[in-house]
């Protein structure tokens, strides 16, 4: 499935944001604590590539299963590349047919919100009536149209 959303990331062109190991660990702890405080979590879904590692670490901390979806966007990984808004989402064959309870959808960066929106749209038909999807990002660009449930 491909979804296109017009969006603009905002860059200040001062320096590239570098997440140090200590800042990464602190962000994971704060985000996991916030997610836990909001109630039971049934599963964590990581958006590959950048969301895969934090999703696995959240799932380990929370003691819940983890799975992943592929989301392809931006034509380049170059610094200051503007987002296209076009996101192609692929769900693997082994992905659960039904998602119930509270699910954490995790990515490293919420640049415009297009990736979270596209993945949520693809997952919607799999959601049980009791399901709720909360979004988690390690960081959020101020130009994002979407505000994740939690970001550091």
In the DSSP assignment, the letter for residue 150 is E
In residues, how long is the chain?
152
**Per-residue pLDDT tens for 122-145?**
999 999 999 999 999 998 988 888
Given a cut of 80, is residue 2 above it in pLDDT? no
**Domains of the chain, start order:** 2-8+17-151 (3.40.50.2020)
Given a cut of 70, is residue 93 above it in pLDDT? yes
Q: Give the dihedral of Cα atoms 73, 77, 83, 87; nearest 10 deg.
A: 0
Q: What is the pLDDT of residue 141?
A: 83
Confidence of residue 75 (pLDDT cuts 50, 70, 90): low
Q: Which stretches of the chain are assigned E, i.e. beta strand?
A: 2-4, 43-48, 66-72, 86-91, 102-110, 132-140, 150-151
Q: What is the pLDDT of residue 145?
A: 81
Given a cut of 70, is residue 16 above it in pLDDT? no
Given a cut of 80, is residue 1 above it in pLDDT? no
Q: For residue 24, what are the CA distances in angstroms to 30, 53, 138, 148?
A: 10, 11, 8, 17
């Amino acid at each position: 499935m491909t979804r296109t959303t017009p969006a603009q990331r905002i860059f200040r062109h001062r320096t590239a944001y570098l997440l140090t190991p200590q800042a990464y660990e602190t962000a994971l702890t704060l985000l996991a604590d916030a997610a836990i405080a909001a109630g039971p979590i049934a599963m964590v879904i990581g958006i590959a590539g950048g969301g895969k590692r934090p999703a696995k670490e959240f799932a380990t901390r929370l003691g819940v299963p983890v799975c992943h979806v592929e989301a392809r966007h931006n034509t380049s990984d170059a610094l200051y590349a503007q987002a296209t808004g076009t996101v192609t989402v692929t769900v693997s064959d082994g992905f659960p047919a039904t998602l119930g309870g509270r699910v954490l959808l995790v990515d490293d960066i919420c640049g415009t919100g297009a990736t979270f929106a596209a993945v949520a749209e693809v997952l919607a038909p799999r959601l049980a009536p009791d399901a709720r999807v909360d979004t988690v990002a390690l960081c959020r660009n101020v130009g994002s149209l979407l505000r994740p449930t939690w970001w550091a």
